[in-house]
Amino acid sequence: MKVHHLNCGTMAMGTVDHCLLVELPAGDLLLVDSGFGLDCVRRPQLLGLTRHAIRPALDESETAIRQIETLGLDPKDVRNIVVTHLDYDHTSGLADFPWATVHVHAPEYRAGMHPTVIERIRYRPDQLWAHGVQWRVNQLSGGDGWFGFEAVRDLPGLPEEVLVVPLLGHSRGHAGVAIDTGAGWLLHAGDAYTTGGAVSDGAAGAFARAMHPVLTHPTLPSTQFRNMRRLAELKAEHSDEVTVFCSHDKSEFDRLVAVG
């Protein structure tokens, strides 16, 4: 499977919005997260006041749909989208693909349907519900089925090489997405961490993990910390088999783009 690394939203402090476009063997396309979409570019007010904090560039050329066109591919071939979670910087582009099935982990879907006061800021109804998203809610199945992590397998419409890996903490139903490219696994860890240092070995990595929940205000801090520690172990023990990266670290994004 051919994987394209897309930055679907440059933001404050040089962060990116790292999404994946996967050319599947059947000929259709899969998106992992959708970044900021055309509606956001044309009507920034849809993002609410928090946009002033993250300061997205909102450049039409960075939207997933325009990047797919630039690659010479047909956006209509995006049949499935897997979202790591429902924060607006990960889902605002869903409206550009109303024909696609959108896969979400069950606890995250429930959070979106019944948000807390804080979640109402993070989850923008205009992006999630207004245009009739075709949701496909996945439940946890199986045990420690993927490098010691639980994994949701057999996603309808997707090949067995695509797995959802629950990584709760940043949000109630946050998940990573693992893809077997044939040359090794990619794990898109979403916002399970936001800087590569947080899943590094040694004292610096331990300090970054300790500070990360303080700085990023996760929904379940202790759960996120445990998952960050497990991701650090995964990187240390299986880096020859699995490439782990998050949504917003520009250095990780640049390195993967360079590798191709």
* Average pLDDT of the residues in 125-139: 87
* Average pLDDT of the residues in 139-149: 80
Q: How many domains does the chain have?
A: 1
Phi and psi, residue 183, nearest 5°: -115, 15
Q: Which domain holds residue 21?
A: 2-259
Query: Quick one: pLDDT band at residue 202, thresholds 50, 70, 90?
Result: low
Give the residue among 247, 228, 188 at the shortest CA–CA distance from 11: 247
pLDDT tens figures, 41-96:
999 888 887 787 889 999 999 999 999 999 999 999 999 999 999 999 999 999 99
pLDDT tens figures, 99-109:
999 999 999 99
Is the predicted pLDDT of residue 27 greater than 80, yes or no?
A: yes
- Specify the range with the lowest mean pLDDT, choosing from 23-27, 144-148, 165-169, 178-182: 144-148
CA neighbours closer than 13 Å in the CB half-sphere of residue 204: 5
CA-to-CA distance for 18 and 190, rounded, in angstroms? Answer: 8
Is the predicted pLDDT of residue 169 greater than 60, yes or no?
A: yes
CA-to-CA distance for 167 and 97, rounded, in angstroms? Answer: 26
Q: Average pLDDT, whole number, for the chain?
A: 91
Instruction: Output the pTM of the full model.
Output: 0.94
Query: Quick one: pLDDT band at residue 210, thresholds 50, 70, 90?
Result: low
Other CB atoms within 10 A of residue 123 CB: 22
Q: How far, in Å, are 2, 97, 125 from residue 26 at the CA level?
A: 12, 19, 33
CATH of the domain at 94: 3.60.15.10
- Note the pLDDT of residue 212: 65
Phi and psi, residue 40, nearest 5°: -65, -40
- Note the pLDDT of residue 207: 60
pLDDT tens figures, 231-253:
999 999 999 999 999 999 999 99
